[in-house]
Amino acid sequence: MVKPLMTALSKIDYPEDRLEIFMICEACDPATVIAVRRHMRPPFKLIIAPPIIPGEEPQTKPRALNIALARANGAFVTIYDAEDSPDPAQLKTAVRQFFHDPKLGALQAPLDYANSDDSWITRQFTLEYAALFHVWLPFLASANLPFPLGGTSNHMRRTAIDALDIGGWDSYNVTEDADLSCRLAANGWTLGYIIPPTQEEAVATWRAWHYQRSRWMKGYMQTWLVHMRAPLAPGGWMGFKRFFTLQLTVGLTLLNALFHLPILLTIIVYHSYMALSGEAMPIAGPFLLSLIISYAVGMMIGAAGAYRSGKPHLMLSAFTMPFYWIALFPPTLRAAWELWRAPFLWHKTEHGVMAPAIKPTQRMSRELRETKYDTL
């Protein structure tokens, strides 16, 4: 992913003398380090996160981000993932918004998927993100309500990050984006939304989707537990809005994923048993009505998001969204188990699956051994 990422970032419309682009790699990933060095040029800089020290911090994305943040000079910070291709106008749009509103702590750009037609999973994933980034987040931002940031294409005011109690990202949270948005809101900063999108690559297999989603759900659990320690911070109306949206977004997502399938199975088993015993009972009208309305609204939001994101051909796929929601149960169970047994385990997502893999060679290993961390 190195070459296409650096090519995409090179197209960003922003003065080069005011731009730093850090390519952040892990010391245990020599192949990526060497690939970055082969394509290195201004304004790119390579940062290698040193090996972890057992018992201190886990090897997570937020840990690496904090290492890079300590070396960043800019007044604004933006995060992009390895598979991203952002709109060239994104940075200038974000900076204009920041100058327009001094209380704005972070901005989120919409994430769209370029491979939406690869499989049923990619179509559903695209609909899910279209509903989130083209319907829900614009609504919450327009209502001046906080919301969970995405892990990429979020733009942050440096002074807002530095003012947090931990001075950056929580290295122990595997959805550092959602956690950061809650911390910003707790410190009185507002969150906003900009239109220029970022193209990403959706996972196309059940296995990749399962492990990626389990990490996200585990991070949501971590975020909810941490921020329920002070649920009404910073107090007043701002604190109530933060508490309300924490339950509406993070809390409701977890409840739906955990109880949707078990409740449906319970109803099916119960009514099947009653029918076999000759005591069949109709499903309660209010329950059936609420189920129909919930499904219909969810599918309508997905279809509206597909239309707004320029993918109207996916609107028909919205009719199968309930099956996708049911499929969230297994990764959520794994997330709950890992929260107990392996809270900081980071399931990395494979991208560029159609591209040939870059494998470490002896020359790469030798180059990495010669790296001096203090010169990066």
Both structure tokens of 71: 């070396």
Contact assessment for residue 155 and residue 109, using Cβ atoms and an 8 Å cutoff: yes
| Domain-located, residue 184 | yes
- State the CATH number of the domain containing residue 120: 3.90.550
The domain tally of the chain equals: 1
Region 262-282: mean pLDDT is 84
What are the helix (H) ranges across the chain? 2-10, 30-38, 61-69, 90-100, 120-131, 137-142, 158-162, 176-186, 206-227, 236-245, 252-276, 285-308, 321-326, 329-341, 362-369
Q: Is the pLDDT of residue 313 over 90?
A: yes
Q: How far is CA 233 from CA 252, 253, 346, in A?
A: 20, 21, 29
| Domain-located, residue 191 | yes
Region 224-245: mean pLDDT is 95
Q: What is the per-residue pLDDT for 350?
A: 83
pLDDT tens for residues 65-98? 999 999 999 999 999 999 999 999 999 999 999 9
HSE-up of 30 (CA within 13 Å, CB side)? 13
Contact assessment for residue 157 and residue 98, using Cβ atoms and an 8 Å cutoff: yes
Contact assessment for residue 323 and residue 332, using Cβ atoms and an 8 Å cutoff: no
Confidence of residue 353 (pLDDT cuts 50, 70, 90): low
Q: Is the pLDDT of residue 363 over 90?
A: no
Region 255-262: mean pLDDT is 96
| Domain-located, residue 96 | yes
| Domain-located, residue 374 | no
pLDDT tens for residues 122-162? 999 999 999 999 999 999 999 999 999 998 999 999 999 99
The pTM of the full predicted model, rounded to 2 decimals, is 0.91
Domain ranges, residue 272: 8-12+68-356
Q: Is the pLDDT of residue 369 over 60?
A: no
Going 70 to 74 to 75 to 77, the CA torsion angle's sign is negative
End-to-end Cα, the chain, rounded Å: 21
At which residue do the structure tokens 């991203």 appear? 84
What mean pLDDT is reported for the chain? 91
Classified as helix, coil or strand, 234 is: coil
| Domain-located, residue 46 | no
Q: From its phi and psi, is residue 368 left (phi > 0), alpha (psi between -120 and 50) or beta?
A: alpha
Task: Report the candidate in 95, 131, 125 with the shortest Cα–Cα distance to residue 110.
Answer: 131
Q: From its phi and psi, is residue 188 left (phi > 0), alpha (psi between -120 and 50) or beta?
A: left
At which residue do the structure tokens 């020290």 appear? 53
User: Is 5 or 363 the better-scoring residue by pLDDT?
Assistant: 5
